[in-house]
Structure 1
Amino acid sequence: MHTRPRLVTSIPFWVLVAGSLAAIIGGLAIVLNGINAMEEVLNDPNATVVQVYVGQSWVVVGAAVLGAGAVGIVAVLALAAATALTRRADISVESIDWDSDDETAVEPVATAPSAAPLAVEDADIETPSTTPAPPQAAAARHDEPRLDAGDDATRR
């Protein structure tokens, strides 16, 4: 019987948890490091403009990574709640007794009557004659329908 794995034993669930926690920790480290660097540079009278503005950029990057980790944790909590609220269907599986001689298998019911086999006869093979057809045979076939070749010269 194949069932869904429980959330506790689901590898993708734990990868999401670990990745989200790593993103939160990494984002916090980047943000705190950037804020400390900005404080030092802003208090230094000899700091350049590049040193001041690079710290702000790193804080923004760290905040984005921190936010991605927070979204991952929210997804983990929503997945855990959805799994806890859904019930598994109770499935009963009948075991097969291979040692039993009782054949209880249901025979398939034919929906259409079976057709009788086709009778195949030897084909008559005619060889084309090399003699031209007599003129009265052509005259007798003058009323037969013909394919239109599209050429008006043959009609005259």
Structure 2
Amino acid sequence: MSVHPRIVRSIPFWILVAGSVAAIGGGTYVLVEKLSHMEATILDNTATGVDVYVGQIWGVFGGILLGAGVVGLALALATAALSSVFPREPRRTAGEQDRHAAVPASEHVISEPVVSERAASEPADSTETTAVSAADTTAPDPATTSTLESPSNDPQQR
């Protein structure tokens, strides 16, 4: 069993981390590049309306992208922290599942009440209970089975 939390092996977690880092990087690039270009053109008096007004929109877009990346990274870190606080039950490997499925039916014990002939003639409070194996395929005693379970061939009881 691995000592790492499950979150370390989670593909969606790493997609969130990578996407958040990419959004932070892309947003920072767009924000800094557009705002520095707009500042340079305004300071040297060569700015046009497109540089000023469209540059502002690109700056806002870069800021939104940067903020979304920061929120995504914060979510990833919070998820990792919660994952370490609430550990999950380890998964069974295929070998362990096969081992549990390979237990033969004869090893399973089913406890059923069995009434002996002696107990059938006595009052109902003195019944014996014994464990019967699931592999036990002997025929039931006709004297102890009810007529609902197996119909009798005796015409008087019909």
Q: Provide closer, same or farther for how the CA distance between residues 99 and 6 of structure 1 changes in structure 2, counting only shifts above 3 A.
A: closer
Instruction: Report the Cα distance in structure 2 between the residues aligned to 1:46 and 1:100, rounded to whole angstroms.
Output: 87
Q: Which position in structure 1 is the counterpart of 2:79?
A: 79
More displaced stretch, 100-109 vs 67-76: 100-109
For residues 61-114 of structure 1, what are the alpha-carbon distances to aligned partners after superposition, in whole Å with 9 as ceiling and x for unaligned? Answer: 0000000000100100110010000033479989449586844243899xxx96
Going by fraction, where is strand more abundant, 1 or 2? Answer: 2
Q: Which position in structure 2 is the counterpart of 1:48?
A: 48
Going by fraction, where is helix more abundant, 1 or 2? Answer: 2
Between 1 and 2, higher relative CO (CA 8 Å, sep ≥ 6) is seen in: 1
For residues 99-146 of structure 1, what are the alpha-carbon distances to aligned partners after superposition, in whole Å with 9 as ceiling and x for unaligned? Answer: 86844243899xxx96889xxxxxxxxxxxxxxxxxxxxxxxxxxxxx
Instruction: Report the Cα distance in structure 1 between the residues aligned to 2:84 and 2:100, rounded to whole angstroms.
Output: 33
Q: 1:105-116 residue pairs with structure 2 within 5 A?
A: 105-106=109-110
Q: 2:13·2:76 contact (CA, 8 Å) conserved in 1?
A: yes
Match of 2:87, SS state, is coil
Instruction: Report the Cα distance in structure 2 between the residues aligned to 1:89 and 1:7, rounded to whole angstroms.
Output: 13
Instruction: Report the Cα distance in structure 1 between the residues aligned to 2:70 and 2:88, rounded to whole angstroms.
Output: 29
Q: Which amino acid aligns with 1:56?
A: Q
Structure 1, unpaired ranges of 5+: 118-156
For the pair shown, the structure with the greater C-alpha radius of gyration is 1
Shift of 1:44: 2.7
More displaced stretch, 98-107 vs 54-63: 98-107
Q: Which position in structure 1 is the counterpart of 2:57?
A: 57
Q: Which amino acid aligns with 1:49?
A: G
Alignment length, in residue pairs? 110
Q: Provide closer, same or farther for how the CA distance between residues 64 and 116 of structure 1 changes in structure 2, counting only shifts above 3 A.
A: same
- Identity within the alignment, %: 41
Instruction: Report the Cα distance in structure 1 between the residues aligned to 2:68 and 2:52, rounded to whole angstroms.
Output: 26
Q: Which amino acid aligns with 1:60?
A: V
Q: Which position in structure 2 is the counterpart of 1:29?
A: 29
- The normalised TM-score by structure 1 is 0.57
Instruction: Report the Cα distance in structure 1 between the residues aligned to 2:11 and 2:74, rounded to whole angstroms.
Output: 18
Structure 2, unpaired ranges of 5+: 114-146, 152-158
Q: 2:38·2:47 contact (CA, 8 Å) conserved in 1?
A: no
